[in-house]
Every structure is written in structure tokens, then in C-alpha cells.
């Protein structure tokens, strides 16, 4: 499910070329998830790494995460 969520979120990504000829990418609805790199491929890779870290932190802190293409991720508490 996590892999499908990440793939779905990455399909929502938007990229642009900046004035300095680097690539900027972000995912709408995922505040603070953005990347900047020299190539589009590097930008995509960096964006996915940022997304993964953002998701891990969000799940650990119990933050609500955006639903993407009908997929929802929620943290569950485990008994000790």
C-alpha cells in the first residue's frame, strides 16, 4: 500500500525549469515537499526521497496525510 501511495503522489508532481536552468518539483497538497536539482531525473529522485521522509515523519507524529487517488495512509498504534 505504501508503494502505491508514493507512486500515486509522484504522479501528481509538477515540475518547472527555473531561470538558472535547474529543475524544481513539488507535489500539490503535500506542504513542504519540494525538490530542486540540475536534471529532471535528479529532481524526481530527490522529490521522492523528500516525500518518503515527509510521510515517515507524518505517520510517526500521527499527522493526517492527504488522500491520493483513493489511497489513505493512517498511523496505527500498537500495543506493547
Whole-number pLDDT of residue 74: 84
* pLDDT, tens only, 8-64: 999 999 999 999 999 999 999 999 999 999 999 999 999 999 999 999 999 999 999
Whole-number pLDDT of residue 12: 98
Q: Answer for the pair 7, 47: CB distance below 8 angstroms, yes or no.
A: no
**Cα-Cα-Cα-Cα dihedral sign, residues 38, 3, 7, 35:** negative
Q: Answer for the pair 41, 48: CB distance below 8 angstroms, yes or no.
A: no
| DSSP assignment letter at 10 | H
Whole-number pLDDT of residue 32: 96
Residue 80, pLDDT above cutoff 70: no
The class that CATH gives domain 2-61 is: alpha beta
Whole-number pLDDT of residue 78: 57
80 C-beta neighbours (distance < 10 Å), count? 3
Rounded to 5°, angle at Cα 9 from 60 and 7: 100
Whole-number pLDDT of residue 16: 98
Amino acid at each position: 500500500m505504501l508503494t502505491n501511495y508514493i507512486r500515486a503522489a509522484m504522479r501528481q508532481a509538477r515540475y518547472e525549469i527555473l531561470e538558472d536552468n535547474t529543475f524544481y518539483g513539488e507535489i500539490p497538497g503535500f506542504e513542504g515537499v519540494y525538490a530542486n536539482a540540475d536534471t529532471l531525473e535528479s529532481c524526481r529522485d530527490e522529490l521522492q526521497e523528500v516525500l518518503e521522509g515527509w510521510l515517515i515523519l507524518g505517520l510517526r507524529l500521527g499527522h493526517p496525510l492527504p488522500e491520493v487517488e483513493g489511497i489513505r495512509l493512517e498511523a496505527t498504534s500498537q500495543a506493547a
